């Protein structure tokens, strides 16, 4: 029986090693490729031809959400499981909208990761139960956070700015002109009522979009 081919994308080598050891213990799963950034994932994925990509979304550079968007634009059949240590629901919603078929918290039990990979390989969606509940409750209650006002691209720029990236750095990472990023920055400030980058960082921390360690 052929094994499920998995590609691991995470900027922390220790995390990749842990996942690889976990998955290699499964008779039906094989790790065929690894990448330490969204950029590397986009360069490696086609040749590796994985059945499932396990993608951390909170990476430096273009980040996982942009990588998901680019990978699924190339191959709409690609099955991507997004992972994050963040507690917010903006990241999972954006990842799923970008094309991910599943979403897990990094705090999930190891066996849940295995179950999710097997589910995606069958063409099924898999979302962490607690996150799915919070998304459903928000949809019912209509209680959206301030960052939900942002477009997909504005959200990406906002998170990069909140991490301390400059306009020039974001332009290079997202392959946008400085003026385009500047326009997004203006729109973000207007929509969120913010005056500077420090206020963006505080808002992102308050809503769990970034961690102090990033």
pLDDT in tens, 173-209: 888 899 999 999 999 999 999 999 899 999 888 877 7
User: How far apart (Å, rounded) are the C-alpha atoms in residues 195 and 121?
Assistant: 45
pLDDT of residue 142: 60
Same domain as 129, residue 97: yes
The parent domain of residue 188 ranges over 146-206
What's the pTM? 0.75
Sequence length of the chain is 214
- Does 133 fall in a domain? yes
List C-alpha distances in Å: 205 to 105, 128, 148, 156, 211: 17, 22, 15, 15, 6
Q: Are residues 112 and 165 in the same domain?
A: no
Residue segments in the chain with a per-residue pLDDT below the cut of 50 = 214
List, for residues 74-98, the tens digit of each pLDDT value: 998 999 999 988 767 788 888 998 9
Specify the number of domains making up the chain. Answer: 2
Q: In what order do the strands lie in the sheet with 29-35?
A: 29-35, 4-9, 52-56, 79-84, 102-105, 126-127
Dihedral of the alpha carbons of 182, 185, 187, 189, in degrees to the nearest 10: -140
Residues 42, 98, single domain; the answer is yes
Question: Do 101 and 133 lie in a common domain?
Answer: yes
């Amino acid at each position: 029986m052929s094994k499920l081919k998995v590609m691991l994308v995470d900027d922390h080598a220790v995390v990749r090693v842990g996942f690889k050891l976990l998955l290699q213990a499964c008779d039906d799963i094989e790790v065929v490729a690894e990448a330490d950034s969204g950029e590397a994932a986009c360069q490696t994925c086609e040749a590796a031809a994985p059945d499932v990509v396990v993608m951390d979304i909170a990476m430096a550079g273009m980040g996982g959400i942009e990588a998901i968007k680019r990978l699924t634009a190339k191959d709409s059949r690609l099955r991507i499981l997004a992972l994050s240590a963040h507690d917010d629901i903006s990241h999972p919603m954006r990842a799923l909208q970008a094309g991910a078929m599943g979403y897990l918290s990094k705090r999930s039990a190891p066996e849940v990761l295995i179950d999710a990979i097997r589910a995606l390989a069958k063409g099924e969606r898999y979302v962490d139960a607690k996150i799915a509940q919070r998304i459903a409750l928000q949809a019912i209650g209509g209680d959206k956070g301030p960052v939900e006002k942002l477009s997909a691209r504005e959200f990406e720029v906002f998170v990069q700015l909140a991490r301390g990236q400059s306009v020039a750095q974001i332009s290079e990472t997202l392959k946008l002109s400085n003026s385009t990023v500047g326009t997004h920055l203006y729109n973000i400030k207007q929509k969120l009522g913010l005056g500077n980058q420090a206020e963006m960082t505080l808002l992102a921390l308050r809503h769990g979009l970034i961690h102090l360690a990033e």
